[in-house]
A and B are shown apart, each in its own frame.
Chain A
Amino acid sequence: MADEIATADPSTTPTETLDKLVVRFAGDSGDGMQLAGNRFTDASALFGNDLATLPDFPAEIRAPAGTLPGVSSFQVQIADYDILTAGDQPDCLVAMNPAALMTNLKDLRQGGTLIVNTDAFDERNLAKAGYESDPLDDDSLKGYRVIKVPMDDLTKEAVKDTGVKGRNVLRSKNLFALGLMAWLFNRPTEPTVDWIEKKFGKKEEVAAANIAAFQAGYNFGITTEATKNTFEVKPAALKPGTYTNVNGNTALAWGLIAASRKSGLPLFYGTYPITPASDILHELSHHKNFGVRTFQAEDEIAAVGATIGAAFAGNLAVTGSSGPGIALKSEGISLAFMLELPMIVINVQRGGPSTGLPTKPEQSDLLFSLYGRHGESPLPVLAIPTPSEAFLMAIEAARIAVKYMTPVILLSDNSVANASEPWLLPDLDSISEIDTEYAKHPNGPDGTFLPYMRNIDTFARPWAIPGTAGLEHRVGGLEKDALSGDVSYDPINHQLMTDTRAWKVANIANDIPQLEVDGEEDAEILVLGWGSTFGAIRAAARRVRLDGHKVACVQLRHLNPLPNNLGDILRGYEKILIPELNTGQLLKVIRAEFLIDATGLNKVAAEPFKVSEVSDKILEMIK
């Protein structure tokens, strides 16, 4: 069937070439918009475009059908050059029902293309979306190029001979919409057909129906000449090499497996399901042939507990969650800090506090990560800037954890975890091994073992795992003697141990990359970011430079300890802007650490920064 589509002749419709394109699929959360968006993305990735995605879905699995809170959308930007974000404004919007139109139309570029499923525009759905009159019949869509398609009817017709029945018939309408989009934007069809066959191969009639609907959507474009012209975006001139399309959660899971291989330590992932971190568990649970043990605990506290046990037993031990779950793990993380065991704590941040906005991006757990524990318990904190970089950041977190015998907090967020981008696959051999050595021999006088006698360079204590003869020892949450690890209530020893633990973590600053400034070092303004704001900040800087201005950018990946040269960099600029998806958390840290009066650009509006928001602020500050 792939051939049938590929050989259909769209040549009667002229093609306009674009350098970039932003499309958004929007529909009810049961309409399969995430699937349609992902397929459009993968076809574009395999075609060679650069791209970035922004999925946006409600926390409810199936919010009441047709309502505004039930709308799910998927935005992707594709381009023939390297892009950094999923785009500020869609050029094309697919609206599967009135609610999707109501919530998404405001974002569509003036003059943009709007594809609507007219079959969903009945009185009931219009009322649920809050329309008093049908927008398809009045002037409200003036200014857009509207393609009206009765998708329900056409899908029913397309799948009638495939054997699917009842409610399953209309399940294929997302594939109809995708087919039409494939025609309109000259996307290759084979990857989608191949994917359907692979995914639904065992349910023949479902595969047949999906392919038929996809094909019908594509052919609908050809035969009705739905638009004056179609569009194409040529492949991007990306760096040579082999690419795959990956999202942050997947890249993170693969990075943990890579860290396990590079360290020779078996991977243990103890966790409790929570949005948006669960996909890390799903991915890891497939890879048991890599020696990966996943442990779905009874609660968040047990998840961190089992992870501590696994670390004590000699594993590369990782726990993952999101804000509320990390709060529950807090006591356990402090124990791991006190025991000085290597461990990674992943926090895929979401809108908070409490249950907050579970499916929306936010960076509001920075201060919690830095300070959210009882007692004096500083931990290394890292943040992932882009989906694909999650791979290397996972390895970096493991390196620090094992080398310094400490838990490490690794921050991701909803816009990294679920967003995808092309990833230039690394040369795996060029990634450094993680030196791992369990203690093998007594290190004290007369053949005794001193579990807190430290490495002279790293101040790490030895990792003596159960099963090693002669190194039997006890650890615990009570303060320990600085050498023997025996319980000690000695005040001077407590001061020494507190200082030593803090110094050990602070010293990691000497073992992380120095920051590099992107852009004009003699600029008046520096934009300082951390984590997932990377794309919006860099794209904004480009835009400002196109206007003839100078701007410098730095993105922090290490938030504790901060890189050694950060202070010097900050002092080199007259103005410093810190954009964050919170109310100013890094801003507080920078002011506290460096006594520098930086300016915040802060937003907690359930979405990442638009490039224009950052570029407008930069321009405002330099004018």
Chain B
Amino acid sequence: MLKRLLDTFIVLLGVTTLVFFLLALVPGDPVDVMLGENAVAADREVLRETLGLNKPILSRWWTYLSQVAVGDLGQSIVRPQSVTELIAQRLPTTLQLAISAFAIILVLSIPLGMIAAEYKGKPADHFCSVLALLGISIPNFWLGPLLVLLFSISLGWLPVSGIESPASIILPALTLGLSLAAVTMRMLRSSLLEIFHQDYLRTARAKGLSPNQIRWRHAFPNALLPVVTLLGLQLGALLAGTVITEVVFALPGIGSLLIDAIRQRDYPVVQGVVLFIALSYVLINLMTDLVLQRIDPRIEVDA
């Protein structure tokens, strides 16, 4: 447990360092790139001072680490707000999208995975495999327009974009969730199939338990363990997945904030958003591991 926390701490430190050094990738002088070649010398000095670019790199790195540690991600150079304020402003939209997508993953993958495992090799299973393969092969920036074409333009059921009504979150959430649902479904299927062959299930059958008791009390809870790990990973991955989905549907979340910041060369915001997503991902994974250990005492968090 302590080792796991220490590992997480090292990873958090490493991630922050990597994000700090991202600025070094900017070709040439970041100040030139941000302000343009024709900026006044005084402005350049002010920006250089604000970004701390005139200090040695190690002391800048230390400053960055200590600021991030207290939740200070710096100042946007395009907008009059701090990076933390900008993220806080945009986060509700992203969370709404991520949570809706997560609900879609759960609702689709669990029943379909169970059906596919139960009817292994039958048409229902093949149908699920084809769905899963399509889900994995259709990237979300194409799936989004396809869904708009089908549900908004051809059928006219749902709004094309924007955040005017609750219904407008459905298409973005489907866009984001479908491929992850496909992966989860495959995982649950193979996990169930593995468990169907285990000794304790044979014992359960030999005791004369009904198929339903075997299914719900013995097979399903154990098959869920690897799925919970995967779902934890996906919950974090959804935060990154929203970037493309938000751009497709013009939603004002942290993903579109990131892309806008890249276009405007607002590097502190780029670094801040990337760091925020990566740190959330690491912390969500840590929590998943802890939850998993609660569910199943056989799992050692330190292993």
Answer yes or no: do A and B interact.
Answer: no
Binding site for B on A (CB under 8 A): none
